[in-house]
Structure 1
């Protein structure tokens, strides 16, 4: 019987992970950057330009959004530590997407490398 860690490791063996040091170039070359964390995590901070499509909705959202349907588009994914992104990348490959990468170490590695983070600001009520 497999656990979540086993599934993540299996996915990582079949997907391309890009190192944080190379993530900027991968993001610039990508057609879309997808943050697969939950909406509350995304609101706490995210990489500029990322679409928030939580892991649980990813396959449905990509299947139902014509702009995201092209199987030859270049996609970069990330989550908090890269487990959900690896699972997401494997799922997208199973769906026929040809150019899928995930960021090794996820958002935590991005922040740890002092890369820029977008944090939505609340309006001032003063």
Structure 2
């Protein structure tokens, strides 16, 4: 029986993981940056310009959102430490997306390297 770690390890053999020292270039070249973490994780901080599509909804949103229908777009995915992003990238490849990559080490590696973190604006109830 396979574990989640087995599935992640298998996915990582089939997807492109961008090393941290090349992430900024990959982000500049990306048409879309997708944060596959849960909404509360995204609200705590994310990469600038990223859209939040939780891993559990990814395939459904990709199938219904016209802005994401173009399978030739360059898409960079990330999660907390890279497992969910690897699984998401593998799934997107199986859906026919041609240029999908994930960030090695995920958001944790990005933060630990002192890279900028964006935060959504707080609601103004005043």
Shorter-chain-normalised TM-score: which range? Answer: over 0.9
Residue of structure 2 equivalent to 1:66? 66
Residue of structure 1 equivalent to 2:11? 11
Q: How far does residue 118 in structure 1 lie from its aligned partner after superposition? A: 0.6
State the distance in 1 between where 2:71 and 2:122 align.
Answer: 37
SS in structure 1 at match of 2:91:
helix
Q: RMSD across aligned C-alpha pairs, in angstroms?
A: 1.2
State the distance in 2 between where 1:15 and 1:118 align.
Answer: 26
- The ranges of structure 1 where at least 4 consecutive aligned residues each deviate by more than 4 angstroms after the TM superposition are 123-126
SS in structure 1 at match of 2:75:
strand
TM-score, L = length of structure 1: 0.96
Residue of structure 1 equivalent to 2:38? 38
Q: How far does residue 20 in structure 1 lie from its aligned partner after superposition? A: 1.1
Q: How far does residue 68 in structure 1 lie from its aligned partner after superposition? A: 0.4
Aligned length: 126
Q: How far does residue 21 in structure 1 lie from its aligned partner after superposition? A: 1.1
Q: How far does residue 120 in structure 1 lie from its aligned partner after superposition? A: 2.7
TM-score, L = length of structure 2: 0.96
1:1-126 alignment to 2 at 5 Å?
1-123=1-123
The verdict on how the C-alpha distance between 1:70 and 1:124 changes in structure 2, with shifts beyond 3 A counting, is: closer
State the distance in 2 between where 1:33 and 1:79 align.
Answer: 11
Q: How far does residue 123 in structure 1 lie from its aligned partner after superposition? A: 5.0
